[in-house]
Structure 1
Amino acid sequence: MLKKLFYGACVYLLLSNLSYAQLPDFTEMVKNNGNAVVNISTIQKNTETQAADSGDQQQLPQDIPPEMEEFFRHYFQGPGRGMAPKETNSLGSGFIISKDGYVLTNNHVVNNASEIVVKLKDRRELIAKLIGSDESSDVALLKVEAKDLPVVEIGSPDQLQVGEWVLAIGTPFGFDQSVTAGIVSAKGRSLPDGNYVPFIQTDVAINPGNSGGPLFNMQGKVVGINSQIYSRSGGYMGLSFAIPIDLAMNVVDQLKSKGKVSRGWLGVQIQDVTRQLAESFGMDRPHGALVAKIVPGGPAEKAGLQIGDIIVEFNGQIVETSGELPPRVGVTPIDEPAKLKIIRQGEKQELSVKIGLLPSQQVAQKSDPNAEEIHANRLGLVVTDLNAEQRQELQIEKNGVFVQRVGKGIAQDIGIQPGDIILRIQNNVIRDSNEFNKILTKLPTGKSIAVLVQRNGNPIFLAFKLDK
């Protein structure tokens, strides 16, 4: 009996030690890099006002219902009484990338700040100067006046593997030098507000105040800047996103040399290829970036790219999803040629395009209430022709019909809305409402058909099948 207990205890200890040995030890990494991670606090002067502390202000009654609080505040304290300019404080993280005082953080940490203070681990507080920032990538570069500062080592996000351990150091909720760890959940994530950033997704615990802090790999090198979380509560829920450090360092180089960031531009709007769209374009599987719009006079138009083309390769790199293309185009040098592989009407082709400089554009859209209606068609739509004023505002020279109403039917099922502009069906460009209805009568049944619509200035392909 004693022998069995002894052997059982030995086996338990052995298994425990094996399990423990498989877990990473982050202690040395934190010791070596913690000194280079900083706390960043800012003061932002707002145009809003708030009640100033004054002896003549009356206190609100206690135990009032929440829905009545604003009424009592107005009654007891009065509108506009004791108002003073409002200053707000924000808190974030950052890390030192050079011994002479360059610091990296997020743009949203220091945006609109009138004063930026960098607090080191040794409790020194240094006033920082904003060298420059880039809203699109959410990267900001600061400079403090100091020498021989501790620095981080820059790593390569390309070498990161999904499932690999990573570690973050930052200031969540103001708690300095907080360390959290997790694994890489995914790479190359595209987020709605980050078109030019292929985010690293992790399950590292990131909370408000971690923004701008470093993400380390197991070699103790920075591979990302912790930037965003996905949350329904405002706190950590297991989905954290970091900006790849190579993209951030490209921004740093441009801010140092030019004081601003220039991005490559192809002059297209793109979307993912769904299963039905892949079938309609004669593809064996959905992949690539589908061209939904080409900007007149842009690099893509000059290179001969067409609406409906599917970009499957850019400069030798495979394009599986549309979100992979913008970051690659963005870091391509301006005026440099790039090689594209596309699928056009089921056939593979190669094009060379000279990358342009990204401009800023906005397109307005509104309907014409006086336009003559056309009777509903096979899709359950009422469409009208576009007048000259609409075409000018929408930057549509010749093509398209305006969706006046959407009845029950296929169009409603696939998401076409009143106010949409239908530009083409399959390879047929729609010039007016008569041509649109003629094309509809000739469409086959039981086959996926692609339709290009423009909504709020943005084009998108949709797919449908006609039953009869």
Structure 2
Amino acid sequence: MIRLNLKSLFACVLSATVVATASTAMLPLSPAFAQVRALPDFTDLVEQVGPSVVNIRTLEKVNPRQGQPDQIDPDMLEFFRRFGLPIPNIPNIPNGPRQTPPPGHGQNPNPEEQPRGVGSGFILTSDGMIMTNAHVVDGADEVLVTLTDQREFKARIIGADKRSDVAVVKIEATGLPAVKVGDVSRLKVGEWVMAIGSPFGLENSVTAGIVSAKQRDTGDYLPFIQTDVAINPGNSGGPLINMRGEVVGINSQIYSRSGGSMGISFSIPIDEAVRVSEQLRATGRVTRGRIGVQIEQVSKEVAESIGLGKPYGALVRGVETGGPADKAGVEAGDIIIRFDGKKVEKSSDLPRMVGSTKPGVKSSLTVFRRGASKDLTVTIAEIEAEKTAAKTPEKTPKATESKMAQSMGLDLSDLTDAVKKELKIKGGVRVNAAIGLAARAGLREGDVILSVANVAVTHVAGFEKVVAELDKSKPVNILFRRGDWAQYTVIRLTP
């Protein structure tokens, strides 16, 4: 019979536990344990920045109709308008379908102020300057600002810029808690950020997340900060705040298929917003620079074929006659690779660089032209409406026989002096017909070929000579002009 000595058994278990614990303590921490960090606490930030965030309501003067149904809730109106959803067919809804009143139902000559939308903003200066989105105050007849202490003020719109979606409004108050403006260049992807605003009119709502990406190009004038912070209708115009309690962006847009937050939100970088606000406060409007070029992205295939290597810069498709770029010597087919010494990584960078430059300033341009870089100086002009491009001349000179051109599927002819003068070019050859290789490369009748393999061609004989000397195993880049715009294509002479 075996007797169990509980005292001895407890001693053995305790001893084994101590040994195991000591052994574990001597082992190095795994990377997973070493990277564990406590989740951030946002309470101090809310107390610090919360009083600087305001609720913005807008009103619009409308003519009420007899027997009309109830108005749509202003919070839901902002929801429908901002995110492109159909607005219900209710009379007097801004930007929504209007109903024609039945016979005998006239309009009241005394307009009434009806709620138009809701949004957010934040106090920029202690004397009442408030920053928000332009779309929040756009079309408003009256703007009402409510502080966290429930004081309400009528605000005056100082200025709004639709291109950047930045607006500044002013309330008559002093001693207000202004925000601290942060340094966007220090913002890192993966960093925690917080938003405060009034989603659906729920004032001072706090949401948090991380920075998903920087310099996100969404097709707008400014590059955006992308986050996964929950942003909903009514958050527009509110601040994006870093862990130091500094504003780094203005919450402006979301990507959504449902109209609500899907974890992809976009904020205007605060440095860009402040630059715009300074102009709005000084003059009530924003002036932007222009140089008068039509541009597009440089493809990898074109970059390799013309000797640029890595695809970067902005390909000049057309130059405005008499514009700043034209006077500086920029030509269609150039690739602008630097502006004021700064590298142009992608075509969308150039309008932002030029746009932020004051009109009248002389700036440097570096262009890549026919295999070499060339430095130019351009005087920035103020942005204006685009001019209408001229039509392609219909004159068709007599065709010149070219065996090399025919092998590429091209029927070419020399340009007359009159056509050269009309197009304002020194040379080139006209495409009378394009089949086979040329057609597959996108060439067509009426195009004017300016260069082949980075070599300018002034007549068909020159084209023939250049093509005859080409390495047929490599793709050939062709710069051609269609109407007022120039672009590259690539033809592969061998399969």
Sort the TM-score into its range (normalised by shorter chain): 0.7 to 0.9
**Counterpart secondary structure, 2:223:** strand
Q: Which residue of 2 aligns with 1:207?
A: 232
The Cα of 1:397 is off from its aligned counterpart by 5.9
Letter in 2 for 1:107: A
Q: Which residue of 1 aligns with 2:320?
A: 295
* 1:337-394 deviations in Å (ceiling 9; x for gaps): 222233221212322222221122242688999999x9xx8888999999xxxx9xxx
Unaligned runs of 5+ in 2: 1-12, 71-87, 90-98, 400-405
The Cα of 1:45 is off from its aligned counterpart by 4.9
Q: Which residue of 2 aligns with 1:126?
A: 153
The Cα of 1:401 is off from its aligned counterpart by 11
Match for 2:272 among 216, 225, 247?
Answer: 247
**Counterpart secondary structure, 2:130:** strand
Q: Which residue of 1 aligns with 2:126?
A: 99
Match for 1:179 among 202, 206, 219?
Answer: 206
Q: Which residue of 2 aligns with 1:447?
A: 475
Q: Distance in 2 between matches of 1:404 and 1:83?
A: 64
- When residues 124 and 310 of structure 1 are mapped into structure 2, their CA distance, relative to the original with a 3 A threshold, is same
Unaligned runs of 5+ in 1: 55-68, 71-77
Match for 2:43 among 27, 32, 39?
Answer: 27
Q: Which residue of 2 aligns with 1:146?
A: 173
Q: Distance in 2 between matches of 1:220 and 1:402?
A: 62
- In terms of mean alpha carbon deviation, does 103-112 or 38-47 score higher? 38-47
Q: Distance in 1 between matches of 2:35 and 2:235?
A: 30
The Cα of 1:22 is off from its aligned counterpart by 3.5
Q: Which residue of 2 aligns with 1:73?
A: none
Q: Distance in 2 between matches of 1:270 and 1:105?
A: 32
Q: Distance in 2 between matches of 1:360 and 1:50?
A: 43
Q: Distance in 1 between matches of 2:458 and 2:277?
A: 47
Written as runs of structure 1 = structure 2, the 5 A alignment for 1:18-417 is 21-45=37-61, 52-53=68-69, 80-81=101-102, 89-192=116-219, 194-195=220-221, 197-363=222-388, 411=439
The Cα of 1:285 is off from its aligned counterpart by 1.5
> Conserved in 2, the CA contact under 8 Å of 1:378 and 1:441?
no
* 1:275-298 deviations in Å (ceiling 9; x for gaps): 111022211221122222212222
**Counterpart secondary structure, 1:286:** coil
Q: Distance in 2 between matches of 1:400 and 1:117?
A: 62
- When residues 462 and 43 of structure 1 are mapped into structure 2, their CA distance, relative to the original with a 3 A threshold, is farther
The Cα of 1:200 is off from its aligned counterpart by 1.9
Aligned pair count reads 434
Q: Distance in 1 between matches of 2:314 and 2:63?
A: 43
> Conserved in 1, the CA contact under 8 Å of 2:414 and 2:430?
yes
- In terms of mean alpha carbon deviation, does 363-372 or 233-242 score higher? 363-372
The Cα of 1:254 is off from its aligned counterpart by 1.2
The Cα of 1:323 is off from its aligned counterpart by 1.8
Q: Distance in 2 between matches of 1:27 and 1:219?
A: 12
**Counterpart secondary structure, 1:39:** strand
The Cα of 1:175 is off from its aligned counterpart by 2.1
Determine which structure has the larger strand proportion and give its number: 1
- When residues 19 and 439 of structure 1 are mapped into structure 2, their CA distance, relative to the original with a 3 A threshold, is same
Q: Distance in 2 between matches of 1:156 and 1:341?
A: 29
**TM superposition score normalised by structure 1:** 0.75
- When residues 442 and 115 of structure 1 are mapped into structure 2, their CA distance, relative to the original with a 3 A threshold, is farther
Q: Which residue of 2 aligns with 1:57?
A: none
> Conserved in 1, the CA contact under 8 Å of 2:333 and 2:487?
no
Q: Distance in 2 between matches of 1:219 and 1:313?
A: 35
The Cα of 1:141 is off from its aligned counterpart by 0.8
* 1:301-329 deviations in Å (ceiling 9; x for gaps): 22222222222222232221112222222
**Counterpart secondary structure, 1:300:** helix
Task: Mark the structure with the bigger radius of gyration.
Answer: 2
**Counterpart secondary structure, 2:40:** coil
> Conserved in 2, the CA contact under 8 Å of 1:379 and 1:411?
no
* 1:241-270 deviations in Å (ceiling 9; x for gaps): 221212211112112222211112222222
**Counterpart secondary structure, 1:176:** coil
- When residues 440 and 250 of structure 1 are mapped into structure 2, their CA distance, relative to the original with a 3 A threshold, is same
* 1:219-254 deviations in Å (ceiling 9; x for gaps): 111111111222233232332222121221111211
Identity %: 42
CA root-mean-square deviation: 4.8
Q: Distance in 2 between matches of 1:295 and 1:369?
A: 21
**TM superposition score normalised by structure 2:** 0.71
Q: Which residue of 1 aligns with 2:79?
A: none
Q: Which residue of 1 aligns with 2:403?
A: none
> Conserved in 1, the CA contact under 8 Å of 2:428 and 2:451?
no
The Cα of 1:424 is off from its aligned counterpart by 4.7
- When residues 425 and 177 of structure 1 are mapped into structure 2, their CA distance, relative to the original with a 3 A threshold, is farther
Q: Distance in 1 between matches of 2:218 and 2:304?
A: 27
The Cα of 1:4 is off from its aligned counterpart by 5.2
* 1:118-153 deviations in Å (ceiling 9; x for gaps): 121122221111111111111111001111111101
